[in-house]
Amino acid sequence: MFLATRFPFVSNEIAAQYALPPNTFSVVPALVLPRSRGYLRMKTAEPNGPLEIQPNFLSEQADVDALVAGIELGGEIASQPAFRDLIKRWVVPPKHMNRQEREAFLRRSCSTYFHPVGTCAMGSGLAAVVDAELRVRGVEGLRIADASVMPTITSANTQAPVVMIGEFASRLLVAGRVAARGSVRSAHDEPVSMPVAGPAELRDAG
């Protein structure tokens, strides 16, 4: 997927190497289904202790090949006649690079896409944090309704799936409140007024 930004969207390494004028636009290839896998590791046994975060970017050659092709395609897109009147000069990378130069540029410019998911992944196995109804295993009355429950990265921006997760969570909470209200009515034979939970409410009254 390609991102188009109206500012120099580059890594710290590229920013240190090139003089980047503020009045720029960037065409950025984004790998939406990376094969490389990193890890998150606790450095001590303390629950609030420091973490080691290793993203392992480009550890799989398939990711390197895809992004190198993306750099080439991005250059072709920016070279089209529709952009000709917008571009005063080409800033970075060099307009013409061979395969080796593209890969070297990629390794200096690669960074996160800022859409982390899966830290509280949904599933049925022992490693799953939440179940199919977003309930945290081993904790009563708590659900998680954000991108952390996704067991895998979506092949697009995460905003739309997160909205759907929130809508799903709100329906689960409302259904639980309605069921609880019905049981209270049956027990006391009187109507009981209870607030209806919204999508942002994470604690389950059930």
Active site annotation includes 115: yes
59, 47 in Cβ contact below 8 A? no
Using left for φ > 0, alpha for ψ between -120 and 50, and beta otherwise, residue 38 falls in beta
CA angle 96, 99, 101 (to 5 degrees): 65
- d(CA 170, CA 34) in angstroms, rounded, equals 31
CA angle 69, 21, 2 (to 5 degrees): 25
Buried-state track 172-188, b at ≥16 Cβ within 10 A, e below 16: bbeebbeeeeeeeeeee
Query: Residue 190 carries which side chain, given as an amino acid letter?
Result: E
Per annotation, catalytic residue among 36, 92, 107, 115: 115
Question: Mind telling me the catalytic residues?
Answer: 115
